[in-house]
Amino acid sequence: MSPRITLATAARVLTQLRHDPRTIALMLVVPSLLMTLLWWIYDGGVVFDRIGPALLAIFPFLVMFLVTSIATLRERTSGTLERLLSMPTGKLDFLLGYALAFGTVALIQALITATVSIGLLDLGTAGPSWLLIAVAVFDALLGVALGLFVSAFASTEFQVVQFMPALIVPQFLLCGLLVPRDQLPDVLGAISDVLPLSYAVDAMSEVQANTDPQVWGQIGVVLAFSVVLLALGAATLRRRTP
Amino acid sequence: MMNFAVRIRGLRVVRGPVTVLDDFDLDIRSGSLTGLLGPSGSGKSTLMRAIVGVQKVAGGTVEVLGRAAGDKDLRDRVAYVTQAPSVYADLTVRQNLRYYARVLGAPLSDVDRAIEQVDLGSRADHLVGRLSGGQESRVSLATALLGKPELLVLDEPTVGLDPVLRVQLWELFHRLAESGVTLLVSSHVMDEAERCERLVLLREGALLADDTLPDLLARTGAADAEGAFLELVEKAEQEASS
């Protein structure tokens, strides 16, 4: 692994994104618009205050999963990944390059969404709002890690997109947004306990409810999932292929 | 003592149900320009992938520049250009090359030099995705000219190029060979054989010939490389059936 190659890769991914202003606009603006829609549906109020922070956790996870899985699938199918791995690129350079690039985008996305939610839509949280943004960035990294891993199991972009309903929607249904996790049927509660998004949403709820939120445990779980997924992702990057 | 850039002994490659190469031996002298010829499906690309170290092999040894193929030490000493251009369509020509130069640790001044060498100076700031197929494959070729590779493995680098450009590129290959670089260039166009010092003819994974063109013509009594190849195929088939 070399910092030179990791940073070069992150810069390259961001340059690619810069050539695609429509994707940037969609990534940065859509979450705020959805927040506004939610605010309108519930007419602001307590339900919005409860659900809003959870959505702040879900957006970056979902968006970064999609862009990363498609971007790395492209690298696998276009031969650029093979070329990079035949060069001095380490597997970690490649993975961390992506994590760094999309992590940066996620930070900007979270800043915009949180500013709109708190500043314009009056989202009320007891804890400090910078923690909401920190949790959102960790969720984004989780999305990047899952996307990198999943791209190894898809050979077309159609397949990769189908992983979203397969892997993301169940986490969304079980993360506590629809029914609090402790009120789920036992089996579902147990499943929800091993899904990373549950911890991300728990962290957000904690920030929302407490003036002195203790979220580092949950963030630790999200980070641990990300590290394990990145390690599994690294195992799917092969210098030699059949 | 003669120096060999590539020494292959007993190489066996199986891809799916097909044994592409079996008990294959080949030596490539340092500083030579070797043409690898044969119909499509004859195993040229697989052989090249084995030399670069990106092909899973079932047996035998491939030694490149005194080390096992794919060794870490070889990653900036061997440059490989695949048949399908492995470059980023959503970056400009210069952005592609700057990225690969940074990965290789090559000076950024190499970027402009490589762009000139493949005659893309007027397209340097164009997006690769907007270039013609021939131009795109030249971007891929330019990547292999970054840094100081000692062995260039080029899979069909002149496909789809106009005759003038093909002549220019072959002149470049000769200049590189004169400066001590070893080149292995594949083609399925037999008239390109005449530009190589040494010819390796492949057919169905077997070595039909490994010779200079004059010797090959003298041995087969053919007028050109294509005739010699057909002669050798016929001979091989007679031997197989008798």
Residue pLDDT, tens place only, A175-184: 988 888 999 9
Written as tens digits, the pLDDT of chain A (242 aa) is: 899 999 999 999 999 999 999 999 999 999 999 999 999 999 888 888 888 888 888 988 999 999 999 999 999 999 999 999 999 999 999 999 999 999 999 889 989 998 999 889 988 888 898 898 899 889 989 999 999 999 888 889 899 999 999 999 999 999 988 888 999 999 999 999 999 999 999 999 999 888 888 889 999 999 999 999 999 988 888 888 88
Q: Do B54 and A86 touch (CB under 8 A)?
A: yes
Q: Residues of B with CB below 8 A from A8's CB?
A: 99, 102-103
- Cβ neighbours of residue A26 closer than 8 Å, sequence gap 6 or more: none
pLDDT of residue B1: 46
| Beta bridge partners of residue A241, listed in sequence order | B55
CB proximity A18 to B under 8 Å: no
pLDDT band at B2 (very low <50, low <70, confident <90, very high): low
Mutation test of the interface with chain B: which of A7, A77, A94, A240, choosing the one with the most B Cβ atoms within 10 A?
A: A240
CA distance B118 to B113: 9
| Residue B146 pLDDT greater than 60, yes or no | yes
Q: Do A242 and B56 touch (CB under 8 A)?
A: yes
Which residue in chain A is spatially nearest to B52 when comparing CA positions? A86
Q: Do A86 and B52 touch (CB under 8 A)?
A: yes
DSSP string, A20-55: -HHHHHHHHHHHHHHHHHHHHHTTSHHHHHHHHHHH
**Partner-chain residue, chosen from A4, A16, A80, that has the shortest CB–CB distance to B86:** A80
pLDDT band at B223 (very low <50, low <70, confident <90, very high): confident
Q: Do B103 and A88 touch (CB under 8 A)?
A: yes
- Cβ neighbours of residue A103 closer than 8 Å, sequence gap 6 or more: A137, A140, A141, A144
Mutation test of the interface with chain B: which of A83, A91, A92, A237, choosing the one with the most B Cβ atoms within 10 A?
A: A83
- Cβ neighbours of residue A138 closer than 8 Å, sequence gap 6 or more: A200, A219, A222, A223, A226
Which residue in chain A is spatially nearest to B80 when comparing CA positions? A83
